Chain A
Amino acid sequence: MKSRAVLRPLAASCRYKHGVLLRRSGIRWASDTWSAGPAQKAGSDSVHFPGALKSKFTSTMRFQNPAEENAMPTYRIMDADGNIVDTTRDPQSASDDEIIQWYRTMLTVSIMDLIAFEAQRQGRFSFYMVSAGEEGIAVGSASALTPEDVCFLQYREQGVLLHRGFTLKEMMSQLFSNKDDNGKGRNMPVHYGSGKHNVHTISSPLATQIPQAAGAAYALKMQRLLNPNVPPRIVACYFGEGAASEGDFHAALNIAATKSCPIVFVCRNNGFAISTASIEQYKGDGIASRGLGYGIDTIRVDGNDIFAVRAVMLEARKRALEGDCKPILVEAMSYRVSHHSTSDDSFAYRAKREVEEWKRRDNPITRLRKWMEKKGIWDEDKEKEARASIRKEVLREFSAAEKVKKPPVRAMFEDVYEELTPETRAHMKELKRIIEKYPKEYSGISEYEGGLKSLEE
């Protein structure tokens, strides 16, 4: 609707004094956001209420019952035995070498999980979260992104980081909170971040990243408007189905739609939020059904099918950037094979047999392996060699990271604001004085790079 200027002088008492930087004093102009909606036409069979412009009138009273609707279908390309079932599409759209690399990345996540889980049990670092069963969602979706795209993660997307080039050394540095940690030792283990790879540091409060991701996507859109030389970019935002119950999820999808943000929301629906099964999390048709309510293009995909995840993500990215941009919602279905974290024993709330059936029958690593073996690009020898070499590499980085000094104690005080405040400087000085006065109480300071000296001005 074209905007129409409405000239309406304000009452004299409201007229502003001369000098205030207003476009025109005393006059209010209508703008795009004020354009009047169409009036209800006599005899029309459709609604023109401003709140729902395309609804048709009906004389039949009917409450729409979600239980009577068909559940949204789950898209897949490859079945659980590695057979292609969507023959209308080239399942690969990537070279054999690339696919083998995806497989190795998923294996790396899986093997690292085993080693890190055990290390936490040995008390070598404080916490760990495994992503078993969900490696395909992370790697498949990441393979559809460009290096310039921006990622906001929850905490079970290690595969995204690895695929984008985050190294095992960087991961181990974060887990051990050593001096090479990007986060300078401030975050719990698995809260990775990388400026180089455009992955924002993970934070623990659930769903907070979702509206942030919408805002970041709006920024990317604006920056391209300002400078057409900037390549088209999207934001990929990941969260679990439990986090989707937070108010921030609602906030984000709504504003992403109304502001037409180039973002793909990826929901990992693995059936559990710690001990809470999905049946206690929502009553509707999963998370995907909500996307339509916000006016967001939505698809549900088999999260154990890396080809389907990738194809969906490629298409979602393309659509997000079309025209004036728009958000897309992808719900990737999977099963959390692991405990929630090293602080959780999931057999307290679900049957062990259920987990083992998922492990054995269908998981993203097994499925891709079957496909590769059918295609003849993988075999038992390659599998053994890959597992051995990955394990060796993980253990090497593990051992190296464990020996590295912790960050300087100074890092405890820096980056709260851009600059140190006088108050913080006084606190650093006081901490230094206390450590000097009671050296035996703080003897561990020698493990921190620079020791006590790092607290000097």
Chain B
Amino acid sequence: MYAGRRLNACSRALKPFLQRRYASQASSEARLNKPIDFKKTAVLHQSQNSARTAYGLSQDAPVDWVNLHGAINASLHHALKSDENVLLFGEDVAFGGVFRCSKGLSDEFGTSRVFNTPLCEQGIVGFAIGCAAEGMKPVAEIQFADYVYPAFDQLVNEAAKFRYREGATGGHCGGLVVRMPCGSVGHGALYHSQSPESLFTHVPGLRVVMPRSPSQAKGLLTASILNSNDPVIFMEPKILYRAAEEFVPRDPYTLPLDKAEVLKQGKDLTVISYGQPLYLCSAAIEALEKEIKGLSIELVDLRAIYPWDRATILESVNKTGRAVVVHESMYNAGVGAEVAASIQEGAFLRLEAPVARVTGWSTHPGLIFEKFNIPDITSKPMPP
């Protein structure tokens, strides 16, 4: 299985055209479910001024056209350069990583700071916790989120509880960041498609963050490594590594790790999602607003999966009176369940309809069935 995993990963990295063919799932007659046009979607900064405005920069601030793995690389580069305590390690990170996120970093910063570990996820995370416990800022990479489970004990029983059990000794592993590619990619099947964020949201002591775009990833990852003094689970939607390109501010910046962001104002319905599905939500909203005159839908990126931003979500739903939560991972006990329950508690008198959830089905991500499993533009909420 590991050999297959490695082969698959390297194969994808080296054969972009092959991957592109697989990635295109839409049939030729499809009207709604066309491939996401990343050059037009409103989720990305399509112009330099769009990026400058969003990040409060002056009109002459430099911005670059960057994809997701490039933005992550820029963030890691900045962190390694600005703080000697930052380390980056995991399987295959030294040559640049199987998704190229660490390209060039071991050459520039040396193999004592950017290095390969033996192939053992529980070892990677345990080692990283120990580094953080002594004041370093380790960025541990788990090659695919699907393989984080061997490290689950270290994350849940150790990293999350380290500061709490140390108490007055002052010990903690706040410098820890665990990065992992996640989410569907067209052909990842059971072990290269998972999105396990909801498992970590049931663990007090860990921050769980998922960016939607290159510029978001750069700010959120920089904050996770350099500003956060809590362990962070940083999840990277891998289908976006090269597909999502936008203008990104060149200078370093950070984004808050506990705040949602309203991407589009609306008054009739609130759509809440995070990561890759936001692009589908944006396309679906555009299609609906075109079809129904006067319809006005608000789109919110949750961003901070836990601890999450209840205030922003409740403010939005109390305004619109309706909510839909969308995520790729499965229905039962997903992030949508927590968000829906909180909306029901916090906006009960305002709700005009039950909170709807649009999610993956309660099954495994089978290879040739991905098109039928992943929420898409035609997906309808489960009837209550």
Contact = CB atoms under 8 A, between A and B. Distances in A.
A417 B154 CA distance: 17
Nearest to A235: B130
Contact of A19 (B65, B116, B311): B65
A193 B118 contact: no
A415 interface: yes
B106 interface: yes
Contacts of A205: 153, 157-158
Most buried by B among A31, A252, A254, A422: A31
Interface stretch (A73-81, A219-227, A397-405): A219-227
A415 B163 contact: yes
Nearest to B245: A17
B115 A19 contact: no
Interface string A171-198: 0000000000111101100010111100
Interface stretch (B166-174, B180-188, B323-331): B166-174
Given A248-B123, A417-B205, A22 B104 contact: yes
A19 B94 CA distance: 22
Interface in A420-447: 421-423
B165 interface: yes
B199 to A, nearest CB: 18
Interface in B128-156: 128-136, 138, 150, 153-154
B135 to A, nearest CB: 7
B126 interface: yes
Given A181-B167, A417-B307, A215 B129 contact: yes
Contacts of A250: 120, 123
Interface stretch (B52-60, B66-74, B361-369): B66-74
A377 to B, nearest CB: 36
Contacts, number: 217
B319 interface: no
Given A14-B16, A212-B126, A32 B73 contact: no
Contacts of B70: 16-17, 19-21
B94 A182 contact: no
A3 B107 CA distance: 11
B134 A248 contact: no
A418 B129 contact: no
A418 B136 contact: no
Contacts of A186: 164-165, 167
B107 A29 contact: yes
B46 interface: no
A418 B229 contact: yes
Contacts of B111: 31-33
B134 A150 contact: yes
B200 interface: no
Interface string B64-108: 111100100110011000001001000000111000000110111
Contacts of B12: none
B2 interface: no
A208 B153 contact: yes
Contact of B171 (A195, A211, A214, A248): A195
A210 interface: yes
Given A33-B95, A218-B127, A22 B103 contact: yes
Interface string A33-60: 1100000000000000000000000000
Contact of B122 (A23, A33, A248): A248
B376 interface: no
B230 interface: yes
A423 B309 CA distance: 9
A418 B112 contact: no
Contacts of A66: none
Interface in A238-257: 247-248, 250-252, 254-255
Nearest to B167: A184
A88 interface: no
Interface in A331-359: none
Contacts of A235: 130
Nearest to A181: B167
B65 A421 contact: no
Nearest to A205: B157
B166 A23 contact: no
B229 to A, nearest CB: 4
Nearest to A260: B112
A235 to B, nearest CB: 8
Most buried by B among A18, A22, A210, A214: A22
A312 interface: no
A31 B158 contact: no
A22 B108 CA distance: 9
A61 interface: no
A23 B108 contact: yes
A184 B164 CA distance: 9
Contacts of B104: 22-24
A213 interface: yes
Given A208-B126, A418-B229, A184 B168 contact: yes
A213 B204 CA distance: 23
B310 interface: yes
A304 interface: no
B64 A418 contact: no
B207 interface: yes
Contacts of A14: 16
Most buried by B among A210, A235, A417: A417
B258 interface: yes
Contacts of B77: 21
B296 interface: no
B173 to A, nearest CB: 8
Given A23-B107, A203-B157, A417-B230, A248 B126 contact: yes
Nearest to A211: B126
A23 B118 CA distance: 26
Most buried by A among B17, B123, B138: B123
A21 B77 CA distance: 7
A21 B73 contact: yes
A415 B161 CA distance: 9
A258 interface: yes
A212 B136 CA distance: 13
Nearest to A10: B14
A195 B169 CA distance: 4
A217 B133 CA distance: 10
Contact of A255 (B87, B123, B138): B123
A64 interface: no
Contact of A418 (B95, B138, B174): B174
A225 B258 CA distance: 35
Contacts of A184: 167-168
A421 to B, nearest CB: 4
Given A183-B165, A423-B310, A215 B107 contact: no
A212 B258 contact: no
A418 B163 contact: yes
21 contacts: A17-B64, A18-B64, A19-B65, A21-B77, A23-B104, A23-B107, A33-B106, A33-B111, A184-B167, A186-B167, A195-B168, A205-B158, A211-B123, A211-B126, A212-B127, A212-B154, A220-B134, A247-B122, A248-B126, A415-B167, A418-B174
Given A215-B128, A219-B135, 7 more contacts: A186-B165, A201-B165, A218-B127, A248-B126, A255-B117, A258-B117, A417-B230
Pick the 5 closest A-B CB pairs, nearest first.
Answer: A215-B130, A211-B126, A251-B123, A19-B64, A195-B169
